[in-house]
């Protein structure tokens, strides 16, 4: 028996016996195999010297070579990097600003805004794809005649037409990644020490100086983690991009998806292995940054990660 507030040892709360322990352990091992064997096979077959996935005929890097020299794949990769970078920049900026503002708005406004934020995170990608497509189609249908009228009024030839493209994908990705940043930054704010801000004011710092010297350094881990996650989710998205992408400008997931539809080749495995490496390392960095911040704040690390996971829905 343990007494007082000391945490009881496991043996005292659960004398289930070694066979129950073993059953739980075996279940866990089976699940880890279930989670990792398929990914491992993708990576393994990316090194296949043979032509077919499923039959390993020695190891080689020929599919990596093929992937790197595939101009369509590399073009799509470039598009994805552009979209991911802009998404991360815009989502992080807008999300952080909104999170700062939410501290100071009336409770009802905050509740509504938070509700919309959670809707943006949890709603399936397909709905976001449709909603943003509707917005862009209507906007362009209204905007382009206006532009044409303006151009002819001024007497210029060839009025520009605005259509879908990488910018529309970025706008759609910002919608849900911004919501993730808002949740992350707000979680961080909740764990922040208010007395530091008050001390700053007591020492006659201006609000702007207080923000840059006290608030922002404390928020930085959440902002960095938010930016990395925004990039990753944008980089990974297929469904939303397929709705609002412009003609001839596919993202990497769009390229991979259409390649799979045409037939499986080890080249896709090579691309997949590279994507896995990049996203896993980015997430590792995001996780480490956020973890360190949680330790400093002595907040519960798990509470902050929950919304991160929600955000990964698409």
Partner 1 sequence: MTRSVAGRWRSTAATVLLLMPAATWYALLLLVPLVILMVFSFGGRAPEGGYRPDFTFANYAELPTRSAAFINALWMATGGTALCLLIGFPLAYYLATRAGPRRTLLLVLVVVPFWTSFLIRTYAWLTILGNNGIPAWLERLGFGHVVLLNTPFAVMLGIVYNYLPLMVFPLYVSLERLDKRLLEASKDLGAGRWATFRQVTLPLSSAGLLSGVILVFIPIMGEYIIPALLGGGKVFFIGNALVDLFLQSRNWPFGSAAAIVLIAVILIAVTIYLRVGSRAGRTREVSLL
Judged by CB under 8 A, the chain residues 215 through 254 that form the site for partner 1 are: 232, 236, 238-239, 242-243, 253
The residues near 116 (Cβ < 8 Å, ≥ 6 apart) are none
H or E, element range at 62: helix 62-68
Q: Which residue from 81, 89, 283, 299 is in contact with partner 1, where contact means CB under 8 A?
A: 283
Q: What are phi and psi of 139, to 5 degrees?
A: -65, -45
Cβ-contact 88, 177 below 8 angstroms: yes
Residue 114 or 151: the one with the smaller Cβ distance to partner 1 is: 114
Q: Does 287 bind partner 1 (CB under 8 A)?
A: yes
Cα atoms in the 13 Å half-sphere on the side-chain side of 217: 9
Residue 13 or 149: the one with the smaller Cβ distance to partner 1 is: 13
Judged by CB under 8 A, the chain residues 151 through 180 that form the site for partner 1 are: 171-172, 174-175, 178
Q: What are phi and psi of 71, to 5 degrees?
A: -65, -30
Judged by CB under 8 A, the chain residues 2 through 41 that form the site for partner 1 are: 2, 7-8, 10, 12-14, 16, 21, 24-25, 27-28, 31-32, 34-36, 38-39, 41
Cβ-contact 86, 170 below 8 angstroms: yes
Q: Which residue from 81, 147, 205, 276 is in contact with partner 1, where contact means CB under 8 A?
A: 276
Judged by CB under 8 A, the chain residues 62 through 121 that form the site for partner 1 are: 94-95, 97-98, 100-102, 104-105, 113, 116-117, 119-120
Shortest Cβ 61–partner 1 spacing (Å): 19
Shortest Cβ 40–partner 1 spacing (Å): 9
Shortest Cβ 85–partner 1 spacing (Å): 17
Local structure of residue 264 (DSSP, 8 states):
-
Q: How far apart are CA 152 and CA 49, in angstroms?
A: 60
Residue 138 or 152: the one with the smaller Cβ distance to partner 1 is: 138
Q: Which residue from 18, 55, 153, 203 is in contact with partner 1, where contact means CB under 8 A?
A: 55
Q: How many CB atoms lie within 10 A of CB 113?
A: 14
Q: Which residue from 59, 143, 199, 313 is in contact with partner 1, where contact means CB under 8 A?
A: 313
Bridge partners, 59 (sequence order): 48
Local structure of residue 4 (DSSP, 8 states):
T
Cβ-contact 73, 273 below 8 angstroms: no
Residue 122 or 156: the one with the smaller Cβ distance to partner 1 is: 122
């Amino acid at each position: 028996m343990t007494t007082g507030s000391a945490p009881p040892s496991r043996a005292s709360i659960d004398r289930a016996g070694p066979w129950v322990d073993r059953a739980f352990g075996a279940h866990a091992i089976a699940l880890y195999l279930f989670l990792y064997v398929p990914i491992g096979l993708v990576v393994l077959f990316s090194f296949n010297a043979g032509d077919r996935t499923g039959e390993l005929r020695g190891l080689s890097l020929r599919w990596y070579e093929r992937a790197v020299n595939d101009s369509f794949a590399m073009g799509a990769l470039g598009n994805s990097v552009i979209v991911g970078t802009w998404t991360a920049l815009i989502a992080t900026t807008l999300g952080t600003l909104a999170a700062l503002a939410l501290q100071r708005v009336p409770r009802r406004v905050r509740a509504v805004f938070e509700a919309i934020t959670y809707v943006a995170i949890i709603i399936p990608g397909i709905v976001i794809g449709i909603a943003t497509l509707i917005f862009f189609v209507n906007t362009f249908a209204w905007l382009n005649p206006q532009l044409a009228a303006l151009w002819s009024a001024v007497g210029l030839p060839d009025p520009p037409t605005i259509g879908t493209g990488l910018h529309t994908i970025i706008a759609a990705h910002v919608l849900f990644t911004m919501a993730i940043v808002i949740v992350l930054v707000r979680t961080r704010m909740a764990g922040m020490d208010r007395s530091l801000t008050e001390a700053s004011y007591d020492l006659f710092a201006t609000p702007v100086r207080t923000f840059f010297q006290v608030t922002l350094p404390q928020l930085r881990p959440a902002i960095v983690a938010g930016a990395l996650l925004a990039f990753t989710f944008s980089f990974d998205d297929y469904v939303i991009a397929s709705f609002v992408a412009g003609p001839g400008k596919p993202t990497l997931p769009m390229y991979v998806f259409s390649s799979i539809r045409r037939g499986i080749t080890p080249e896709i495995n090579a691309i997949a292995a590279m994507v896995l490496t990049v996203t896993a390392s980015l997430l590792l960095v995001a996780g480490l940054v956020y973890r360190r911040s949680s330790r400093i704040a002595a907040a519960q690390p798990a509470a902050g990660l929950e919304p991160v996971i929600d955000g990964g829905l698409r």
